[in-house]
A and B are shown apart, each in its own frame.
Chain A
């Protein structure tokens, strides 16, 4: 089946620095990928839709300058958390859709900003 690889699985960074998270579709091409944020014991909130070769579409309330998304190829989307602060600490998950099979999710990235 479809596999989505997300890297890193965990990252700790200092406040004010930037962190890049990668999301790769391993055995299929994904023109569209999705980035979610999950707070502890809560559901997944869609942050943005990443479109290959064009600008990402952000959900209401998500700062596009804070969460930079790049989808330069059909198998890779990246999310960069810029000038990270402790309140950005969260679990970030990407997903991609493969045809009619629905969405496949990455294993997530635990970001801790200290």
Chain B
């Protein structure tokens, strides 16, 4: 079965600084990969996804992620963080093809200092 690890429970950055959230997955083949953001008390919003093709994926709100097969990673990046980016971020992995129901990591809480 597929699994995903987000090694950082909390990340604190200053507004305007760059951001990288780590995500490692375990799956025998090339998986489908996702990043979601969750504001307090809200559902999840899809930031970006990778199915195939270009390994650098652009998402909404200025986020991007890079699929690195050799490292089994799909790290999320943003060059300049805004205070409104403070939220919980979830990486998810799914078996490619079929219904690709995502399995979620435990999440990383992003704190943004002014």
Contact mask B71-111 → A, CB, 8 Å, 1/0?
00000000000000000001000000001011111110100
Given contacts A49-B101, A97-B99, contact A42 B106 (CB under 8 A): yes
Which chain A residues border B36 with CB–CB below 8 Å? 105
Report if A43-B99 is in contact (Cβ < 8 Å); known contacts: A107-B42, A108-B43, A110-B41. no
Grouping DSSP codes into helix (H, G, I), strand (E, B) and loop, the A interface class, with mixed when no group exceeds half, is: strand
5 nearest A-B residue pairs (beta carbon)? A105-B43, A107-B43, A105-B44, A43-B106, A43-B104
Asked whether any CB of chain A lies closer than 8 Å to the CB of B46, the reply is yes
29 contacts between A and B (CB under 8 A): A6-B43, A9-B41, A32-B99, A41-B109, A42-B107, A43-B90, A43-B104, A43-B105, A43-B107, A44-B44, A44-B104, A46-B101, A46-B103, A91-B41, A93-B43, A93-B44, A95-B44, A100-B51, A102-B34, A102-B46, A102-B49, A103-B46, A104-B46, A105-B36, A105-B45, A106-B43, A107-B42, A108-B42, A108-B43
Q: Can you name 13 extra interface pairs (CB under 8 A) apart from A42-B106, A43-B104, A102-B34?
A: A4-B43, A6-B43, A34-B101, A43-B90, A44-B104, A46-B101, A49-B101, A102-B49, A105-B36, A105-B44, A106-B43, A108-B43, A110-B41
Interface size on B, residues (CB 8 A): 20
